[in-house]
Amino acid sequence: MTLRPKAFALVLAIGIAGVTTAVLAHQGATGVVKERMDGMGMLQEAVKQVGQMLRGNGAIDPETTRRAGQALQAHAGSQMTDLFPEGSLMPPSEALDVIWTDWAEFERLAAELDRAAQGLSSAAASNRAGVQAAFADVASTCKACHEKFREKKD
C-alpha cells in the first residue's frame, strides 16, 4: 500500500500531534493505564521518526527505520493486549469499553501491528518506496485501531 502525498502528510501530522498531546494526557495516569499510555507514546515516537524521514527529501536511514520497527514490534501483539485488562478505563485512559466487547478485533489489530512492524524492520534496507509502503501498513493499522477503540479527540 502506498499513501498519496496528502494522505501521508495527514498520517504524519496526526502522529506528531499525538506525541505532543500524549504528554499532557498522561498526567495523573497510574498503574496499567500509565504503562500502556507510555507504551503508546513510544509507538507514536517510532512512527514520528520514520514519518519525518519519509516526509523529507533526504536518504532513508536504515538503522533508524529498523529500530523504529523493533520498537513498534515490542509494543504490539500480546505485549499490547496484556496492558488492557477488563475494567481498566480509569481516567485519563482514552480506551473505549468496546475493546472488551470486541476483544477478537482488538487482538487481531494488535497482531496486525506486530506483522506490520516486522515488515517495517525488514524494509529498512530497501528503497524509499519499500519503506513508505511498510510505513503505510503500520499507519493504517494504528488508524484502524484508534478509530474503533480510542476516544475521539475534539
Q: Kindly give the confidence (pLDDT) of every residue in the chain, 154 residues in length, as a single tens digit, with 9 standing for 90 and above.
A: 455 666 555 555 555 555 444 444 567 788 999 999 999 999 999 999 999 999 987 889 999 999 999 999 999 999 999 999 988 888 899 999 999 999 999 999 999 999 999 999 999 998 999 999 999 999 999 999 999 999 987 6
Cα angle 42-12-50, degrees, rounded to a multiple of 5: 55
Domains of the chain: residue spans and CATH: 5-149 (1.20.120.10)
The rounded distance, in Å, linking the Cα atoms of 122 and 139 is 16
Residues 57-83 have pLDDT tens digits of: 788 999 999 999 999 999 999 999 999
Q: Are 10 and 55 in contact (CB under 8 A)?
A: no
Per the listing, cell 493486549 goes with: 81
Determine if the pTM surpasses 0.75: yes
Phi, psi of 95 (to 5 degrees): -75, 145
Contact 80, 113 (CB under 8 A): yes
* Of the candidates 49, 109, 66, the residue with the CA atom closest to the CA atom of residue 98: 109
